[in-house]
Structure 1
């Protein structure tokens, strides 16, 4: 029996969705690719156990979040060194692009945990309970982290008020 049986099919079928989540966590396409590749390599080693679990995607998503937080901690210990010529980031000046950039920049200023909660809750449309299970915390922690993160986004990116105010006010207190 092939110990990777089903792994290739899983990756082929879920790679796009997992890549989107990795991108939302990192804010950078190449870092997202590295993050996903790292997690999938580790997952492949344990696939024979995970395949029988019934929900390997939950494991992979949790691993993405954990690995991203781990990378962020390592970066704090080893700060980036400036370069003489930073890369050019050609920006589209359309309203939609500006909102997307403002949101991306504001998300990158949140803590990794707050960003993970927002990605799981609002991008992946997961319930409070699902998010809590993926992050290994209580539903109350998810609610408070969501509230703090949305409040911080309102301060960091006031130009996104319409988008942020669309969040159900019953769910997240201001």
Structure 2
């Protein structure tokens, strides 16, 4: 591969990923709140670059493909943080949250979301907080739109129960 082709390819990749950067960052913040979202997005972009030949437009848009990678990288970041915390004494003080971290709008809701299954959490984060539609959420999750709808229904039902709300 010559240098010019690599430069054009890199520029095209940057242009191709640009529309997905904001949704990627939002999802990284939601799924790995204790990690630096920029790091999660950077790791995701690096992974996407290495696997760009695997993108299949028949299975979804570039944004949905990139969001699926972010979801995977955020899971890795959470697991890495848990491994690091296991070696920290329980009485040790944890460092302050990064300055760029956005405070949770409703601590009760955030706690309730944490109690959902991992699949329900991903659907809720994508649909309600990132603003991705049902079809795109299905592409990220690797399931049908009907499965996303039922997952969101189940998640809402569970959240209502966790938050003590009733259907009046």
Report if TM-score (shorter chain) is over 0.5.
yes
| Equivalent position of 2:73 in the other structure | 67
**Residues 98 and 70 of structure 1: CA distance in aligned 2, closer, same or farther (over 3 Å):** closer
| Equivalent position of 2:123 in the other structure | 117
| Equivalent position of 1:18 in the other structure | 24
Structure 1 position 80, deviation (Å): 3.4
Please give the per-residue CA displacement for 1:62-115, whole angstroms capped at 9, x wherever unaligned: 111233345556777x583334223456xxxxxxx7753332232223222111
Contact 1:68-1:112 within 8 A present in 2 as well:
no
Higher relative contact order (CA 8 A, sep 6+): 2
> Following superposition, which runs of at least 4 residues in structure 1 exceed 6 angstroms of deviation?
73-76
**Residues 128 and 11 of structure 1: CA distance in aligned 2, closer, same or farther (over 3 Å):** closer
Please give the per-residue CA displacement for 1:114-171, whole angstroms capped at 9, x wherever unaligned: 111112222333333332222111233212221221122223334xx5xxx9xxx9xx
In 2, Cα distance between equivalents of 1:135 and 1:143: 12
Q: Which runs of 5+ in 2 are unaligned?
A: 98-102
Relative to the length of structure 2, the TM-score reads 0.67
Relative to the length of structure 1, the TM-score reads 0.66
Matched, 1:136 2:142: yes
Matched, 1:148 2:148: no
Q: How many residues are treated as equivalent by the alignment?
A: 151
In 1, Cα distance between equivalents of 2:49 and 2:108: 36
Contact 1:26-1:108 within 8 A present in 2 as well:
no
**Residues 67 and 112 of structure 1: CA distance in aligned 2, closer, same or farther (over 3 Å):** farther
Q: What CA RMSD, in Å, does the superposition of the two structures yield over aligned residues? A: 3.3
